Amino acid sequence: MRELSPLHNERLKYNPKLAGELSKGIKNLSVNYLEKTSAVKDVEQIQELFPRIFAQPIVQFGSTGEKIELEKKNVGVILSGGQAPGGHNVIAGLYDALKTANPENELFGFLGGPQGIVDGDYIKFTDSYIDKYRNTGGFDIIGSGRTKLETEEQFKATLNTCQNLNISAIVIIGGDDSNTNACMLAQWMAEKGTGIQVIGCPKTIDGDLKNDQIEISFGFDTATKTYAELIGNIMRDANSAKKYWHFIKLMGRSASHVGLEVALQTQPNITLISEEVEQKALSLDAIVNYMTEIIAKRGNDGKNFGVALIPEGLIEFIPEMKTMIASLNDILAVVEDDANYMNAQTQAEKYDIIESKMEMVNASVFHSLPVLIKDQLLMDRDPHGNVQVSKIETEKLLIAMIRERLDELKKEGKFTGKFSDQAHFFGYEGRCAMPSNFDADYCYSLGYNAFALIAAGVTGYLSSIKNLTEPAKNWVAGGVPLTMMMNMEKRHGKFKPVIQKALVELDGPVFKALEARREEWAYEDKYVFPGAIQYFGPSEVCDITTQTLALEQAACAAAK
C-alpha cells in the first residue's frame, strides 16, 4: 500500500467541476453540428490522405439539438507522449460518463502508451482503481509511451485488440504527434468499415496544441505554475545572495509558450523567445551579445546576479542552426546505410563523416560547436523524428560563450563585475505535479466530453472545451475535426501529414506584454514570487488562470 501525504489524501476527495452543459449529465445531452472545416494548410494533400474524415463539421453539445445515443459501448484509452498534469482526470471523466450512460459499459486502459493497444496489453478499470488516481498528477495509472502508430501492421493489430475486447471506440490522450496518430487511425478504421471511432484529447505542457477551437492543451496551467514557483524561489535566492547568474532552460520542445508564461508570472532579467530569434534571424553570436550586454551592465552597477530564461527548443530556431540541423536530420535518416559511419571507432570520425556530407556553410556551423553539443545533436531522434531537445544543453553552450565574451570585455576594461553561473533545466519537475484546480476541472471535462463525442457517433475528432477564462459553468463543450489542424511537414527526411504546432505569435498579446516590460526587468529587479499552487482557499488565489490564456481570450473578445 502506498503511503499518502495529507494533501494527496485531500485531493482524492476533490469534486472536479464539469463544463456547462456537461454538468447536466450525459443522459441529457444533445449534439449540434456547426460549420464544416478544412485543413490549416496543404488542403488538397490532406483531403487526399484523409478522405473519410475530411471536412467534417465542428460539434457543440447543448440541451437542444439531436439527442445522443447511449447504447452499450466498450471503450479503450491510451496516454501518449510526455506526461502532463491532469491525465488521470481525463480518464476519470471518461470513466464516469461511460458508467453513468450505462453501468454495463467497460473502459479498458492500454499499458505503456500506443504500443499497449498494438500488443493487446491492458487493464479493465473499476471504481476502486479509478478512485485511487482522481485529481493526482502523473500518468502512472496506465503509463505512457511515444510509439508512432502509422503502419498497416500496427493498425491491424489495433483492430484485432479492439475486436477481442469488443471495443468500439478509442480515446488517445496526447499532443500534436499523438493526435496525428489518432487522425491516421481514425481514417484507417473508417476506410476499412470497422465502425471503430477514434477521439483525441489535447494534452501537452508545451501549450502548442491550440487554435481557434482549442484554447489550451491541458497540463500547461499546472506545469507553468510549478516552474514559476521554482523560479520565484531562485530569484529570491539570487536577490539574497547576490552572487549568481541563474540560466534556466524551460521545457517546451518547439514553442516558447512555457518560457513566456513563466516570464510574465515572475519577471526575470532576461527571457529568450525562440520564435523571436527565428523571426529576427538572430545568430547565436547576436543572442550571446544581447545577453552579455545585460550581464555586463548589471555587473558594472554592482549587480553580479540575475535570472535568464531559455526555451528548450532555442537551438532549432537559430537560423544557422536550423539549417544545419535540417541537413543533419536528412543525413541521420539514411546514415544506417553508411558502413563508414556505422563502423567509426570514435566520435571525432563520426563528426568528420557528417561534415563531409554537409554543404560547407552547415559543416562549418557543426564544426564550431563544442563536442558536448555535437554529441547531443547526434543522439537518436524520437519516434516522430524530433530532435530530443531536452537532452541538448543550450544553457551551458550560452554560459560558455558569454563567459568568453565577458573575459574579452574585462581585458578591454569594459566589464568590472564578476560572473558566476548556475545552470538549471526545469521540465520533469512540472510534468507530473498535482493538477491545479483549473487542470483538474478542465481534464475531467475533456474526458467526460470525449465520451459524449463517442455517444454522438463521430470519429476523427479532438475533445474541445472552450470559454476557459470563465467559471466552469460557462465552459462550452464540443469537438473539432482533427483534419482541420493538419498540414504537411518534413519528418525523418520525408513529407508527412502532421498537426501544425501553434508557435508564439510575435504580434499577439502575450508576447507584446513581455516586450513592453522586458527592458525594465533587465536592469531594475522587479522579481515576482508566485509561491506554490493553492488547491484550497479563496478563488482569487486558487482559480487564477495563466496569463497566456487570460491575455489571449481578452484579445479574442475585443476582436469580436
- Based on the shown chain and the rule CB under 6 A, indicate whether residue 81 belongs to the binding site for ligand FBP: yes
CA–chain centroid gap for 344, Å, is: 36
490 - beta bridge partners?
A: 495
Q: Which residues fall within 8 angstroms of residue 346, CB to CB, at 6 or more apart?
A: none
**Segment contacting ligand FBP by CB under 6 A, of 200-208, 287-295, 362-370, 530-538:** 200-208
The verdict on whether 525 is a catalytic residue reads no
In this complex, which beta carbon is closest to ligand FBP, that of residue 264 or of residue 432?
Answer: 432
Provide the CB-side half-sphere exposure for 124 (13 A, CA): 8
- Based on the shown chain and the rule CB under 6 A, indicate whether residue 498 belongs to the binding site for ligand FBP: no
Catalytic one among 177, 206, 221, 439?
206
Figure out which of the listed residues 147, 168, 256, 390 binds ligand FBP, where binding follows CB under 6 A. 390
In this complex, which beta carbon is closest to ligand FBP, that of residue 257 or of residue 357?
Answer: 257
SS (H, E, C) 108-171: EEECCCHHHHHHCCEEECCHHHHHCCCCCCCCCCCCCECCCCCCHHHHHHHHHHHHHHCEEEEE
Closest distance of CB 431 from ligand FBP, Å = 6
**Segment contacting ligand FBP by CB under 6 A, of 247-255, 293-301, 524-532, 537-545:** 247-255
In this complex, which beta carbon is closest to ligand FBP, that of residue 255 or of residue 434?
Answer: 255
- Based on the shown chain and the rule CB under 6 A, indicate whether residue 393 belongs to the binding site for ligand FBP: no
**Segment contacting ligand FBP by CB under 6 A, of 24-32, 81-89, 408-416, 441-449:** 81-89
Closest distance of CB 66 from ligand FBP, Å = 34
367: its cell numbers: 564544426
- Closest listed residue to residue 78, CA positions, set 112, 106, 124, 119: 112
Closest distance of CB 51 from ligand FBP, Å = 28
Site for ligand FBP in 286-325 (CB under 6 A): 312
Q: Report the distance separating Cα 228 and Cα 259, nearest Å.
A: 9
DSSP-assigned letter for residue 501: P
- Based on the shown chain and the rule CB under 6 A, indicate whether residue 389 belongs to the binding site for ligand FBP: yes
The alpha carbons of the chain give a radius of gyration, in whole angstroms, of 24
- Based on the shown chain and the rule CB under 6 A, indicate whether residue 207 belongs to the binding site for ligand FBP: no
- Based on the shown chain and the rule CB under 6 A, indicate whether residue 175 belongs to the binding site for ligand FBP: yes
Closest distance of CB 82 from ligand FBP, Å = 3
**Segment contacting ligand FBP by CB under 6 A, of 52-60, 251-259, 402-410, 457-465:** 251-259
Is-contact 199 172, C-beta < 8 A? Answer: yes
- Based on the shown chain and the rule CB under 6 A, indicate whether residue 204 belongs to the binding site for ligand FBP: yes
**Segment contacting ligand FBP by CB under 6 A, of 202-210, 333-341, 486-494, 526-534:** 202-210
Q: In terms of DSSP bridges, do strands 245-250 and 306-311 run parallel, antiparallel, or are they unpaired?
A: parallel
In this complex, which beta carbon is closest to ligand FBP, that of residue 237 or of residue 278?
Answer: 278
- Based on the shown chain and the rule CB under 6 A, indicate whether residue 206 belongs to the binding site for ligand FBP: yes
In this complex, which beta carbon is closest to ligand FBP, that of residue 148 or of residue 431?
Answer: 431
Closest distance of CB 177 from ligand FBP, Å = 7
In this complex, which beta carbon is closest to ligand FBP, that of residue 202 or of residue 417?
Answer: 202
Closest distance of CB 58 from ligand FBP, Å = 24
Q: Report the distance separating Cα 42 and Cα 497, nearest Å.
A: 9
In this complex, which beta carbon is closest to ligand FBP, that of residue 224 or of residue 304?
Answer: 224
Closest distance of CB 494 from ligand FBP, Å = 21
Q: Report the distance separating Cα 371 and Cα 356, nearest Å.
A: 17
- Based on the shown chain and the rule CB under 6 A, indicate whether residue 82 belongs to the binding site for ligand FBP: yes
Closest distance of CB 452 from ligand FBP, Å = 24
Is-contact 314 277, C-beta < 8 A? Answer: yes
Q: Report the distance separating Cα 144 and Cα 146, nearest Å.
A: 7
**Segment contacting ligand FBP by CB under 6 A, of 106-114, 203-211, 259-267, 505-513:** 203-211
How many other CB atoms are there within 10 angstroms of residue 400's CB atom? 16
**Segment contacting ligand FBP by CB under 6 A, of 57-65, 131-139, 201-209, 303-311:** 201-209
- Based on the shown chain and the rule CB under 6 A, indicate whether residue 253 belongs to the binding site for ligand FBP: yes
- Closest listed residue to residue 205, CA positions, set 216, 192, 191, 194: 216
How many chain residues interact with ligand FBP (CB under 6 A)?
A: 15
Q: Report the distance separating Cα 424 and Cα 427, nearest Å.
A: 10
User: Which residue shows C-alpha cell 496518430?
Assistant: 181
- Closest listed residue to residue 265, CA positions, set 5, 552, 545: 545
3-class DSSP state of 477: strand
Is-contact 546 261, C-beta < 8 A? Answer: yes
Q: Is the dihedral of CA 335, 340, 345, 348 positive or negative?
A: negative
Q: Report the distance separating Cα 57 and Cα 479, nearest Å.
A: 9
- Based on the shown chain and the rule CB under 6 A, indicate whether residue 251 belongs to the binding site for ligand FBP: yes
In this complex, which beta carbon is closest to ligand FBP, that of residue 93 or of residue 145?
Answer: 145
Q: Determine if residue 195 is left, alpha or beta; phi over 0 gives left, psi from -120 to 50 gives alpha, anything else beta.
A: left
Closest distance of CB 223 from ligand FBP, Å = 8
Q: Report the distance separating Cα 36 and Cα 41, nearest Å.
A: 16
Backbone dihedral angles phi then psi of residue 557, each to the nearest 5 degrees: -65, -40
CA–chain centroid gap for 339, Å, is: 37
In this complex, which beta carbon is closest to ligand FBP, that of residue 427 or of residue 481?
Answer: 427
Is-contact 183 497, C-beta < 8 A? Answer: yes
In this complex, which beta carbon is closest to ligand FBP, that of residue 106 or of residue 221?
Answer: 221
Closest distance of CB 23 from ligand FBP, Å = 28
- Based on the shown chain and the rule CB under 6 A, indicate whether residue 252 belongs to the binding site for ligand FBP: yes
Residues near ligand FBP (CB under 6 A): 81-82, 84, 175, 204-206, 251-253, 312, 389-390, 427, 431
Q: Any idea which residues carry the catalytic annotation?
A: 206
